[in-house]
Amino acid sequence: MDVSRRQLAAVLTGAAVAQAQAPTPVSADKEVDDARARQRIAAQTIARVPLPMSTEPAFQFKA
Amino acid sequence: MAEIAPDIFFASISELNAKLRAKEFSCVELTRAFCDRLERVGPRYNALALSLREQAVRAARDVDRDLKIDRTRGPLQGIPYGAKDLLAVKKQPTTWGAKPYAAQVFDYDAAVIEKLDKVGAILIGKLSMVELAGGGDYITAAASLTGPGLNPWDTTRWSGGSSSGPGSAVAAGLVTFAIGSETSGSILTPAAFCGVTGLRPTYGLVSRRGAMALSWTLDKLGPMCRSAEDCALVLHQLAGADIQDPGSAGRNFNYTPQYTRKPGDITIGYMPVDFEDGAEPSAQPALRVAFEVVKSLGVKLKEIKLPEFPYGALVGTIIAGEAGSIFEDLIRSGKVDQLADKHQIAGLKAMLDLPATEYQRAMRVRTLVKQAFRDLFLNCDMVLSPARLGPAPKVAEPLNAPGPPTKSRGGLIPGGNLAGLPALSLPCGFAEGMPVGISLLGRPFYENQLVAIGNMFQKQTDWHRRRPPVT
């Protein structure tokens, strides 16, 4: 089938727009999703520790 | 040419140094013999990343010249050692155990390498490690450029990680000592599994300059040796302030056994479940005997409770926040897919999605962990526990496979690392034919006292002198 240059340009432009609109995650595969889920579970576990508002992180910046 | 007897490969630092000074053999002869052994036997355990024979023999010649005119530089002069392959050695590959960095070369030495070079210690090889020190959460022993770390006591079992090469090499007498690293368990675990003595120093005591970073606020470098005394002799040289290491504590360590407290003045905390039926069944007899030996030293023993925190979750989140940044380019470039362990690849990728608030919360809870351990050490001087709850697992099994049920909570490895505390792992017997270890956790900069108790334990036992069946 012959494709005109106009038709080809339209296809390529459409593909580029679609790619720009839908950012892909670093990787969509299940293992990464599972790793993200484990991170979330860890964060939820940590969130249950009572934490006074005045507690600062365990590092110090010095000028 | 003097013949190097087999016992030499298992001699202590002091014994070897005395023989060199007495000219029983030259440093070149000793170095060549160790290089031969490391190159011949190291690959059996996947322990050797790179032999440094040429530069080692050159350094050995310098030592021989110094010894000829009695220019002595301390107990490490002429002693062959290995360095975990996350330590930069000038103009040599430093692979971090990972395929994406297989050709990486630095034009400088790591700080610890410089320090050991200054006192005449002989670096004979780079030792293998788990890729990127295992920060992405690996589940296979094969998570390494050099293949799975194999245990010299039984090569169907894992050497432990991430300092797998250092653990195997010291156990099998391929080096007199090794420099390992620990973010959370990577010195204590291979030390326990391979039956060697490992010392994780207080955070900031040893400069991290020139070492691969996995987690800026958790990483520590430390010695793995055949005895507590040897660990102290090495730490004496490694420790010290370094303005180029932002985490440097600005302190030295001087090995001063003559100033340590008498055992009767020391209180050792412990959790009874750890030495009753808390560990894996096969390890319980050895741990019970070890407990009785510690008791027989004349120390005061006190039951304690470990502060309750989600240690594993905290360490995992902090590593995710820091390693995710350290390895961001590796991950975004896609080169992370070259790593050997798929679970680790996924873990590293997921790190980029960790919200900053979650990392910060973990670091704030970490402040509470530090305070809790400070409070714990108001009532005892150190804490005794199993270094690991069982012997080394089989290489063929996933590392996260459920093992025999245990009642011990564990937590001292991640908890101690979160609080930046020093710990000493001591071999204390066998289970299923494999070494088992105990550990002593101390308050910050308490290494002298930990080593003192370790020395006393090793005077009463001979587990640290046992040798795996190496032919």
Q: What is the DSSP string of B96-162?
A: TT-GGGTT-B-SS--HHHHHHHHTT-EEEEEE--SGGGGTTT--STT-STT-PPEETTEEEEE--SS
Answer yes or no: is pLDDT of B471 > 80.
Answer: no
More confident: B470 or B191: B191
How far apart CA B372 and CA B443 sit, in angstroms, is 12
Do residues B226 and B202 make contact, with C-beta atoms less than 8 angstroms apart? no
Residue type, B107: D
Residues with Cβ within 8 Å of residue B355, at least 6 apart in sequence = A43
Which residues of B are the active-site residues?
Answer: 84, 162, 186
Tell me whether A26 touches chain B (CB under 8 Å): yes
Answer yes or no: is pLDDT of B88 > 50.
Answer: yes
Mean per-residue pLDDT over chain B, rounded: 97
Of the candidates A36, A46, A51, which has its C-beta nearest B350's C-beta? Answer: A36
Which chain B residues touch A56 with a CB distance below 8 Å? 364, 367
Answer yes or no: is pLDDT of A12 > 80.
Answer: no
According to the model, what pLDDT value does residue A53 have? 95
According to the model, what pLDDT value does residue B343 have? 95
Tell me whether B364 touches chain A (CB under 8 Å): yes
User: Nearest CA to CA, how far is B178 from chain A (Å)?
Assistant: 30
Q: What is the ipTM of this complex?
A: 0.90
Answer yes or no: is pLDDT of B171 > 60.
Answer: yes
Of the candidates A35, A48, A56, which has its C-beta nearest B350's C-beta? Answer: A35
According to the model, what pLDDT value does residue B437 have? 98
User: For residue A35, what is the nearest residue in chain B, using CA coordinates?
Assistant: B347
Percent of chain B past pLDDT 70, that is, above it, reads: 100
Question: If you count residue pairs, one on A and one on B, with CB atoms under 8 Å apart, how many are there?
Answer: 89
Q: DSSP string of B180-233?
A: EEESSSTTHHHHHHHT-EEEEPPTTSB--TTBPPS-TTT-EEEEEESSHHHHHH
pTM of the model: 0.94
Axis-axis angle for helices B356-376, B311-326 (nearest 10)? 130
Answer yes or no: is pLDDT of B415 > 60.
Answer: yes
Answer yes or no: is pLDDT of A18 > 80.
Answer: no
- The tens digit of pLDDT for each residue in A22-52 reads 444 445 589 999 999 999 999 999 999 999 9
A62: confidence class by pLDDT, cuts 50, 70, 90: confident
User: For residue B136, what is the nearest residue in chain A, using CA coordinates?
Assistant: A35
User: Does the CA dihedral B247-B251-B253-B256 come out positive or negative?
Assistant: negative
Provide mean pLDDT across the span B301-312. Answer: 96
According to the model, what pLDDT value does residue A26 have? 47
B11: confidence class by pLDDT, cuts 50, 70, 90: very high
Q: DSSP string of B69-84?
A: TT----TTTT-EEEEE
SS3 B352: coil
Answer yes or no: is pLDDT of A10 > 80.
Answer: no
> Of A13-22, A35-44, B302-311, B336-345, which gets the smallest average pLDDT?
A13-22
Of the candidates B317, B346, B364, which has its C-beta nearest A42's C-beta? Answer: B317
Answer yes or no: is pLDDT of B325 > 70.
Answer: yes
Provide mean pLDDT across the span B322-326. Answer: 98
Q: What are φ and ψ of residue B253, in 5° steps?
A: -130, 125
According to the model, what pLDDT value does residue B405 have? 81
Percent of chain B past pLDDT 90, that is, above it, reads: 96
A21: confidence class by pLDDT, cuts 50, 70, 90: very low
According to the model, what pLDDT value does residue A11 have? 54
- The tens digit of pLDDT for each residue in B376-404 reads 999 999 999 999 999 999 999 999 888 88
Q: What are φ and ψ of residue A32, in 5° steps?
A: -70, -40
Tell me whether B320 touches chain A (CB under 8 Å): yes
Tell me whether B409 touches chain A (CB under 8 Å): no
Contact between chains at A27 and B362 (C-beta distance less than 8 A): no
Answer yes or no: is pLDDT of B13 > 80.
Answer: yes
Which chain B residues touch A29 with a CB distance below 8 Å? 346
How far apart CA B101 and CA B94 sit, in angstroms, is 8
Tell me whether A1 touches chain B (CB under 8 Å): no
According to the model, what pLDDT value does residue B267 have? 98
Tell me whether B273 touches chain A (CB under 8 Å): no
Contact between chains at A51 and B365 (C-beta distance less than 8 A): yes
- Residues 75 through 134 of chain B touching chain A, CB cutoff 8 Å: none
- The tens digit of pLDDT for each residue in B42-85 reads 999 999 999 999 999 999 999 999 999 999 999 999 999 999 99
User: Does the CA dihedral B47-B51-B53-B59 come out positive or negative?
Assistant: negative
Contact between chains at A51 and B309 (C-beta distance less than 8 A): no
Tell me whether A28 touches chain B (CB under 8 Å): no
Which chain A residues touch B327 with a CB distance below 8 Å? none
- The tens digit of pLDDT for each residue in B111-153 reads 999 999 999 999 999 999 999 999 899 999 999 999 999 999 9
Tell me whether B350 touches chain A (CB under 8 Å): yes
Contact between chains at A46 and B310 (C-beta distance less than 8 A): yes
Cis peptide before B184 (omega within 30 of 0): no
E-assigned strand segments in B218-320: 220-225, 267-270, 300-303
- The tens digit of pLDDT for each residue in B209-253 reads 999 999 999 999 999 999 999 999 999 999 999 999 999 999 999
